[in-house]
Amino acid sequence: MALDGYTDQILPRQARKAELLDADSEKALARAWRDHGDKAALHRLVTAYMRLAISMAAKFRRYGASMNDLTQEAAIGLMKAAEKFDPERGVRFSTYAMWWIKAQLQDYVMRNWSLVRTGSTTAQKSLFFNLRRVEAKLRREAEARGETLAADGLRVAVAVELGVSLAEVAMMEGRLAGSDASLNATQASDEDGREWIDVLEDEGVQAAELFESKHDGASLRGRLGKALQGLSDRERLIVRERQLVEQPRTLESLGQELHLSKERIRQLEAAAYGKLRRSLEADGAKLGHFLS
């Protein structure tokens, strides 16, 4: 159902003029669409319940969206319901459509609440739309008992009431309490007019860290080279081909080259690692820094 060009006033007027369908008419229209792809029947079914969609959309205006946008989303939910409605289940279309309309409106509000995705799981949606209401109810109940709920106690009570984790409650409180702000906005307290982006810490590798890493790497490679000199030619070959190349060789291929069994290559490899470990540890390093 196309809604482009409708204003906040025109669409409600059109909806109020729509016919009221009884249960038998609903079923007949739904069957015509399901069995024969009758678009006129689909349009008639959707139009008849547009007033329901508009009524539900109005309840979401407190989240800051325009009524026209909410009505568009509600109409999409209504269309989805009409396309999937099964008239043989014995349920009125209005009852079935309410769930689709509500889900569409909730998804729209959460997508547009913040540039950062507010939530997508069932628990996050429940918190987003019920947190403030449940908090108010719990405070009233505590006051009726002559008690005062501290912030931590309130979070625990909300988590129990909605069946979610305490961490999810704290996270949603933070998201609902804050608002989007541009990193290019000027700090009000800064006389030099610095932007907020100027105070963000650079997460890249700092120059000092890079220098230290290169220095340590060179030192460790020198220690490894010295330790390798203490191995026999055959042991150095096995260690190099098994650990120090991009594509390590198998015990079998090394055994074929050296005319030894796989088990003998494994024994020589273990013995070479033992020598390397002792040499490196005596020099203040560990074998694990070099070999996986």
CATH topology of domain 10-113: Four Helix Bundle (Hemerythrin (Met), subunit A) (1.20.120)
pLDDT in tens, 144-155: 888 887 888 888
pLDDT level of residue 98 (50, 70, 90 thresholds)? very high
pLDDT in tens, 112-158: 765 445 555 677 777 777 777 888 888 888 888 888 878 888 888 88
Write down the pLDDT at residue 187. 56
Burial 43-72 (b: 16+ CB within 10 A, else e): ebbbbbbbbbbbebbeebeebebebeebbb
Q: 46-60, 81-95, 187-201: which has the minimum mean pLDDT?
A: 187-201
- Rounded to an integer, the average pLDDT of 175-202 is 56
Write down the pLDDT at residue 196. 47
pLDDT in tens, 8-18: 555 556 666 66
Tell me how far apart the alpha carbons of residues 276 and 280 are, in angstroms, rounded to a whole number. 6
- Which architecture, in CATH terms, is 207-289? Orthogonal Bundle (1.10)
- Rounded to an integer, the average pLDDT of 199-219 is 54
Q: Which single residue is written with the structure tokens 């269309």?
A: 79
Tell me how far apart the alpha carbons of residues 240 and 227 are, in angstroms, rounded to a whole number. 13
Establish whether domains 10-113 and 207-289 are of one fold. no
Residues 201, 208 contacting (CB under 8 angstroms): no
The domain locations on the chain are: 10-113, 122-177, 207-289
| Residue 186, beta-bridge partner list | 195
- Rounded to an integer, the average pLDDT of 239-268 is 87
